[in-house]
A and B are shown apart, each in its own frame.
Chain A
Amino acid sequence: MLTLEPRRRSSTLLQALTPVLAVLATMVAGGILFAALGKNPVEAIRIIFVDPFFDPFSRSELLVKAAPLALIAIGLSFGFRAGIWNIGAEGQFIIGALCAGATALAFWGTEGTWLLPLMALAGMIGGFLWGMIPALLKIRFGANEILVSLMLVYVAELLLSALVSGPLRDPDGFNFPESRRFHDSATLPIILQNTRAHIGILVALALGPLAYAILHKHVFGYHVKLLGTAPRAAAFAGVNTKLMIAACLGLSGALAGLAGTFEAAGPVGQLVPSLPVGYGFTAIIVAFLGRLDPLGILAASLVMALTYIGGETAQFTLQIPAAAISVFQGMLLFFLLGFEVLTRFRIRRVTRATS
C-alpha cells in the first residue's frame, strides 16, 4: 500500500519539474483522446506542439496569443498566492476592451500619439473598477469573491453585446452588432513586419521581470505570500487584509483590462461581441502552469498559446474539433494539480503492520 509522507521542505527540483511532467502527461492523455477520435495521435501531437515553431507566421501568432495570457495570469498570480480568488478576469478583460474601445471611438479620426496611452489608461481603469466590485463586496459584506467575480463575467458579456448593438454600433454598418473599425492612431503599432505581433508583447515581456521583483523583493510580494500561507500570522504581523483584497483584485483587474485593450486595439481592431475568447479563463491555467511565478508564467503563456495555434492548425488539417483543445487545457490543469502532491509529499510504500 502506498502512503504520503510530508516532506520537511518542498523539493525545489520537483517544483521546477512538475509543470514539465504535467505537459508530458497531457500529451500522452491527449494522444489517447485523439486516438479515440480516430486521428493519428503522434501526428496530432506533432502538429500541435512542434510545427508552430517552424512556421514564421505561427511563431509571431504565438506571441500575439501569449501576450494577453501572460498579462492576465501575472495579475491573477498575486491574488492566487494570497488566497484571493479572482476568476472573473474574463469580465475585467471585456470591460477593459470596452472602455478602451469607447475611448477610441470617441476620438474617432483624431490623429495623435496620445490616444493609445489614453486608451490603455481607460482600459486599465475599467478593468480595475470591474475588479473592485467583488473586492468591495468582499471587504464590506464578506461576499464570496469567486462567485461575484464570475457572475460579473456574464454581466460584462451582455453589456458588451448591448453596447455594440446600441450606442457603440457602427453607424454605416448595416445594423450589424459591431463598432466601427478603429482608425490608425487607435491601433497598436506592429513590431514585426507583415505579422500581427504588436507592441503589447513587449509590455508583457517587460512586466514579467517587474512583477518578479515585486513578488520576491518588495514588501508587497512578501505580504501576499504571508497572507496565503499563514493568514493568522499575517494579521498579527500587521498585514491589512482588506487592503490586500483590494490590491490583489484591483491589480489583476487592471492587467486584465490592459490585455483587453491590447486585444481590441491590436488583432481585432474594433469592438465585436466575439471579442472575448476565454483568455480570462485560460489565464487561470497559465498562472498555475507557471507555478504562480511571473517568469514561469511568461514561459507557460507560450506553452498555452502553442495549444491554441497548434489546435487551430490541427482543426483544418486533421479535422480535430475546436473543443478538443479546451479538453486538452483542462486536462493540463488536472495533471498540474495532481503532480503538485509530489513537491510536498514523498510517496512511501508501507507494509500494513497494524491497521
Chain B
Amino acid sequence: MKTSVAPHAVTLTAIAALVVFALANGLNPVLLTVSITVAATPLLLAALGEMVVEKSGVLNLGVEGMMIIGAIAGFATAVETGSPMIGLIAAAAAGAALSLVFGFLTQVLLSNQVATGLALTLFGLGLAALLGQSYAGLKPPSFPHLDIPLVSDIPVLGPILFAHDLLVYITALILLGTAWFLYRTRAGLILRAVGENHDAAHALGYEVIRIRLAAIAFGGACAGLGGAGLSLVRVPQWTEGMTAGAGWIALAIVVFGSWRPGRVALGAFLFGGVTILQLNLQAANLTALWLLVLGFLLLATHVTVRGLTTGSMHRSMLPLWAATLASAAWALAAPVSIQTQYLSMTPYICTIIVLVVMSADRLKANLNAPASLGRVFFRTG
C-alpha cells in the first residue's frame, strides 16, 4: 500500500510540533511526553479491550460505565488495603464482572447491543457514584514507580521510556500481548473468524457465544484497569463522574485505529496529547488558535504526503497550507485569551473530527471493521 507513509509523516509532524510548542513555552519536552504517556494509558487500556470485543463481533457501548466502576473499585480497594496493586486487580475484576452482565443480556438473552451498552453505562455511572460516596476527597496510596535501573538514567530516552509508573508497563505488555494474540495465535484467528462471520464459525464447530463472552470479559477487565489508571495514577483522586467521557473517547479511538493495535495506540497518544496540550494552553493562558493551527498542519501534511506518494495532488492541499499559515499568523498577531471552557471542549471536538476523517474514506474504514459487528447471533442446530 502506497498510502501507508502518510500516518507516519503525520505522527512525525505531531511530535515535531509538540517539541516546538514545549520549547517555545519553556516547558520540558521530556516531561511533557511523560505526562502525555500517563494521560494516554487509561485511554489505551480501554480502547484495546474494546478492540478485542469488537473483533469478536460485539459492540459494547458500556465502556464508560465499566471504566468508572473500575475507577471506584480500584480506588476503594487501594484505600482500604493500602495496596495499589490489589486495587488494580479489583478494578479489573469489577470491570469484567459488570461486562458479563452485558454479556449475559446480549449473548444469552439476545438483547439489542446498542441499548444494552447504554444501560451498562447508565448503571455503571450510578453504581460508581453510590459506592464512591465515602471516598470523595481521600488520597489513595501512591502508585509504585518503576525506574528500570541503568537505562532509566539515559538522558531523554531514559525518562521517556524507562521511568514510568507500573501501569504504563502493564499497558505496554497488554498492547503487545493483544497484537500477538490476535495475529499470531490460533485462538486469535478463531476470535477474528467469529467476528467476521459468526454463522460460518458456528458451522465449523466453534463456540461463538463462549468466545464472545470471554472477549467481553477481557474488554471489561481492560476498561476497569483503565478506570483505575484514572483514579489511582492520573488524577489521583475519586470524584463522581470522573471519567468524563473517556470511555466514549476510547470507543472513538478504536474506530480511529481501524481495529489495529498499533494504530489504536497511536490514537490513544494523540488524544492524550490533545488533553495535555489544552491543559497547558489553559495554564499558559495561550490562545486556543494554536490548536487550530496544529489541526490544519496535520491535515495539510497528511494530504501532501499522500499526494506525493500517489503522484496526484489533492485539490485541498494548497488551501490547507494557506489555512495553516493564516491561522498561525492570526494566533501570533492577536493573542486573544478565551474562557477555559472553550479549551476544555477540544478533546470532544477532536473526537468528532477524527470520526469524520476516518469514516469519510468508507472503503478503507470498512476494510478492517469486523463484518458481524453488532449483529445478533442466534444459535440454530
Contact = CB atoms under 8 A, between A and B. Distances in A.
**Candidate in A85, A142, A147, A151 with the most chain B CB atoms within 10 angstroms:** A151
B351 interface: yes
A304 B11 CA distance: 48
Contact of B359 (A142, A322, A331, A333): A142
A281 interface: yes
B309 interface: no
A141 interface: yes
Given A158-B342, A161-B341, A340-B111, A327 B123 contact: yes
A315 to B, nearest CB: 12
Interface in A78-111: 80, 85, 87
**Interface hub of A146, A147, A324 (most chain B Cβ within 10 A):** A147
B339 A284 contact: no
Contact of B352 (A4, A148, A158, A162): A148
Nearest to B358: A143
Interface in A230-266: none
Interface string B97-115: 0000100010001111011
A154 interface: yes
B251 interface: yes
B348 A155 contact: yes
A166 to B, nearest CB: 6
A281 B61 CA distance: 14
Contact of A338 (B105, B118, B344): B105
Interface in A101-157: 137, 141-144, 146-148, 150-152, 154-155
Contacts of A166: 339
B260 to A, nearest CB: 18
Given A4-B110, A147-B251, A151-B348, A285 B341 contact: no
A146 B60 CA distance: 12
Interface in B92-138: 101, 105, 109-112, 114-116, 118-119, 122-127, 129-130, 133
A148 B245 CA distance: 12
A321 B114 CA distance: 29
B203 interface: no
A171 interface: no
Contact of A147 (B111, B116, B126, B351): B351
Given A141-B359, A147-B248, A151-B245, A85 B125 contact: no
Interface in A313-355: 321-331, 333-334, 337-338, 340-341, 344-345
A326 B127 CA distance: 8
A146 B349 CA distance: 14
Contact of A85 (B114, B248, B252, B349): B114
A192 to B, nearest CB: 31
Contacts, number: 133
Contacts of B244: 154
Nearest to B64: A150
Contacts of A146: 61, 114
A159 interface: yes
A144 B123 contact: no
B342 A162 contact: yes
B330 interface: no
A327 B342 contact: no
A324 B122 contact: no
Q: SS class of chain B's interface: helix, strand, loop or mixed?
A: helix
Contacts of B351: 147, 151
B133 A323 contact: yes
Nearest to A320: B130
A137 B119 contact: no
Interface string B359-371: 1101001000000
B183 interface: no
Given A159-B341, A331-B123, A337-B111, A151 B105 contact: no
A330 B127 contact: yes
Contact of A341 (B109, B240, B352): B109
A191 B340 CA distance: 41
B345 interface: yes
A144 B359 contact: yes
A6 interface: yes
Nearest to A167: B339
A333 B121 CA distance: 11
Contacts of B127: 323, 327, 330
Given A158-B344, A158-B345, A142 B362 contact: yes
A119 B112 CA distance: 38
Contacts of A150: 245, 248
A333 B349 contact: no
A341 B376 CA distance: 12
B125 A326 contact: yes
Most chain A beta-carbon contacts within 10 A, residue among B114, B130, B248, B339: B130
A10 to B, nearest CB: 13
Interface in B216-252: 240, 244-245, 248, 251-252
- Sort A-B residue pairs by CB-CB distance and give the 10 closest, nearest first: A330-B123, A326-B126, A323-B129, A162-B341, A333-B119, A323-B130, A337-B111, A327-B126, A142-B359, A341-B109
Given A143-B355, A154-B245, A155-B348, 20 more contacts: A4-B110, A147-B255, A151-B248, A152-B348, A154-B345, A158-B345, A162-B341, A162-B342, A285-B119, A321-B129, A321-B133, A323-B127, A323-B240, A327-B126, A328-B126, A334-B101, A334-B123, A338-B105, A338-B109, A344-B110
15 contacts: A4-B110, A80-B115, A142-B359, A142-B362, A148-B352, A151-B348, A166-B339, A285-B119, A322-B129, A323-B133, A327-B123, A330-B124, A333-B115, A333-B123, A338-B111
